[in-house]
A and B are shown apart, each in its own frame.
Chain A
Amino acid sequence: MQRMDRNALAARVARDIPEGAYVNLGIGAPTMVANFLPKDKDIFLQSENGLLGMGPAPEPEDIDWELINAGKQPVTILPGGSYFHHGDSFAMMRGGHIDICVLGAFQVSIHGDLANWHTGAPDAIPAVGGAMDLAIGARDVFVMMDLLTKSGESKLVRQCTYPLTGLACVSRVYTDVAIFDVGPDGAHVIEMVEGMTLDTLRALTGLELTEA
């Protein structure tokens, strides 16, 4: 079985982002999706700290610490890009103006509930940032994650056990071994890597999965 690595997964997510989409890429692995967006199409990347039309990382000599992304990494702005304050930035999300948001996750439920901000560990200092706004704001929320934790537990679950980020907000889950649509009707497998079978996915997740 050929599991998809982070780059392959990012490339696969990028294929589902159409020209003209306003897109927010979450911190971490989702940021890598930007590397695979087609250069000949206009796709608008939003960074919630106040930037639309975000470009790639600058050359080291061009780093400007007042031009950073939400992960506080230096970025660039494309011709046609714009700056705005936090009120407008989160209105873009909450108001339904962002088409697609790509996020990482600890758990996603078959009905699209998302848990990605807090492990629930009692001694952890909580930090939420824009996670909850992103989760409920974008028209489509894509999650990018490994299907299993390091200890082999499925991160696609019947019901999240980690603290929730948002209810019924995720529409598609891209994992290293399969892609799922989730929602009111539960989880459907829409793609599997070569060598993967529906039965194996059912065994790995313990879920009644069907093919879309």
Chain B
Amino acid sequence: MINKIVASMAEAVADMQDGASIMISGFGDAGAPAELIEAVIAQGATDLTIISNNAGAGETGIAALMRANRVRKVICSFPRQAASHHFDARYRAGEVELELVPQGNLAARIQAAGAGLGAIFTPTGYGTMLAQGKETREIDGRHYVLEYPIHADFALVKARAADRWGNLVYRKVARNFGPIMAMAAKTTIVQVAEIVELGALDPETIVTPGIFVDRVVAMQPAPTV
């Protein structure tokens, strides 16, 4: 019997190694797997590369990872926010490297990794400083920039519900990067509000099929299955 459900957040992230690259779902707080991130902080992995839309704001989630000085590099589209002080301070001090990627290119590069593509030509960013030094090509009269896939060792994703095969459904705009990050990482770890019986999720509405998911962990309080 295959059961991807693990008992605790700590167990879910136990094998995270120093230097790992980690995709983290979420747009702002919506869809951000704050509890899994807390578990990573407790687990101790450091020198991490974080791939996410933001670089953390306030005191929880990615900001907490920043505050704990676990992050070496951030690949994101929008690091600067009203309360991104933990990132800002480390970036200004030269302690954290930033690769700034337009949001749609971030999504497309993550999708390219999940789909096994070697690279993509994207029109976004052409002629701007974010495309400087990159290969370009004109195709049917439109200009494109060559961009490479973004792979990761781990994806930390928040979803609404899962079954023991790892099938996922999301909630509202908390879906954001979850489905594409789940496809792009070697190991995808998902925190969910609810674990349901196999067969309880309508196959017509499953957003992430279990093939893309390795571990599922329930947010506390743990539901009974």
Flag if B128 contacts A163 (CB, 8 Å).
Answer: yes
Flag if B173 contacts A51 (CB, 8 Å).
Answer: yes
Contact (A132, B125) CB under 8 Å given A68-B30, A87-B108 = yes
In this assembly, does B149 line the interface, its C-beta being within 8 Å of a C-beta of chain A? no
Beta-carbon contacts of A105-118 to B below 8 Å, as 1s and 0s?
Answer: 00000000000001
Complex: how many Å from CA A85 to CA B168?
Answer: 13
Which residues of B are found within 8 Å of A84, using beta-carbon distances?
A: 175
Complex: how many Å from CA A64 to CA B172?
Answer: 9
Taking a contact as CB atoms closer than 8 A, the residue among A49, A86, A129, A136 that contacts B123 in the complex is: A136
In this assembly, does A89 line the interface, its C-beta being within 8 Å of a C-beta of chain B? yes
Flag if A83 contacts B104 (CB, 8 Å).
Answer: no
Flag if B107 contacts A90 (CB, 8 Å).
Answer: yes
Flag if A48 contacts B103 (CB, 8 Å).
Answer: yes
- Name the interface residues of B71-117: CB closer than 8 Å to any CB of A: 77-81, 88, 91-92, 98, 100-108, 110-111
Q: How far is the CB of A130 from chain B (nearest CB, A)?
A: 4
Flag if B124 contacts A68 (CB, 8 Å).
Answer: no
Q: How far is the CB of A67 from chain B (nearest CB, A)?
A: 5
Flag if B107 contacts A87 (CB, 8 Å).
Answer: yes
Beta-carbon contacts of B162-178 to A below 8 Å, as 1s and 0s?
Answer: 00000000111111111
Flag if B30 contacts A85 (CB, 8 Å).
Answer: no
Which residues of B are found within 8 Å of A47, using beta-carbon distances?
A: 173
Q: How far is the CB of A156 from chain B (nearest CB, A)?
A: 19
Q: How far is the CB of A88 from chain B (nearest CB, A)?
A: 9
Which residues of B are found within 8 Å of A118, using beta-carbon distances?
A: 129
- Of the listed stretches A37-45, A141-149, A164-172, A194-202, chain B binds A164-172
Flag if B174 contacts A66 (CB, 8 Å).
Answer: yes
- Name the interface residues of B115-153: CB closer than 8 Å to any CB of A: 122-130, 143
In this assembly, does A133 line the interface, its C-beta being within 8 Å of a C-beta of chain B? yes
Nearest to A127 among chain B residues (CB) is B80
Which residues of A are found within 8 Å of B111, using beta-carbon distances?
A: 87
Complex: how many Å from CA A130 to CA B107?
Answer: 10
Complex: how many Å from CA A132 to CA B122?
Answer: 11
In this assembly, does A50 line the interface, its C-beta being within 8 Å of a C-beta of chain B? yes
Flag if A125 contacts B80 (CB, 8 Å).
Answer: yes
Which residues of A are found within 8 Å of B178, using beta-carbon distances?
A: 85
Between A68, A87, A93, the greatest number of chain B beta carbons within 10 A of the residue's beta carbon is seen for A87
Contact (A128, B102) CB under 8 Å given A50-B176, A86-B107, A163-B129 = yes
Which residues of B are found within 8 Å of A87, using beta-carbon distances?
A: 107-108, 110-111, 179-180
Q: How far is the CB of B10 from chain A (nearest CB, A)?
A: 25
Contact (A130, B104) CB under 8 Å given A66-B172, A68-B28, A86-B177 = yes
Which residues of B are found within 8 Å of A130, using beta-carbon distances?
A: 77, 102-104
Which residues of A are found within 8 Å of B81, using beta-carbon distances?
A: 127
In this assembly, does A137 line the interface, its C-beta being within 8 Å of a C-beta of chain B? yes
Which residues of A are found within 8 Å of B126, using beta-carbon distances?
A: 136, 166-167
Flag if B29 contacts A65 (CB, 8 Å).
Answer: yes
Nearest to A70 among chain B residues (CB) is B27
Q: How far is the CB of A117 from chain B (nearest CB, A)?
A: 8
Between A84, A89, A118, A132, the greatest number of chain B beta carbons within 10 A of the residue's beta carbon is seen for A132
Which residues of A are found within 8 Å of B170, using beta-carbon distances?
A: 83
Taking a contact as CB atoms closer than 8 A, the residue among A64, A83, A93, A163 that contacts B175 in the complex is: A83
Complex: how many Å from CA A137 to CA B142?
Answer: 12
Beta-carbon contacts of A11-48 to B below 8 Å, as 1s and 0s?
Answer: 00000000000000000000000000000000000011
| 18 pairs from A and B in contact (CB 8 Å cutoff) | A49-B173, A68-B28, A83-B170, A84-B175, A85-B179, A86-B180, A87-B107, A87-B111, A89-B107, A94-B122, A125-B88, A127-B81, A128-B77, A130-B102, A133-B103, A133-B105, A133-B124, A137-B104
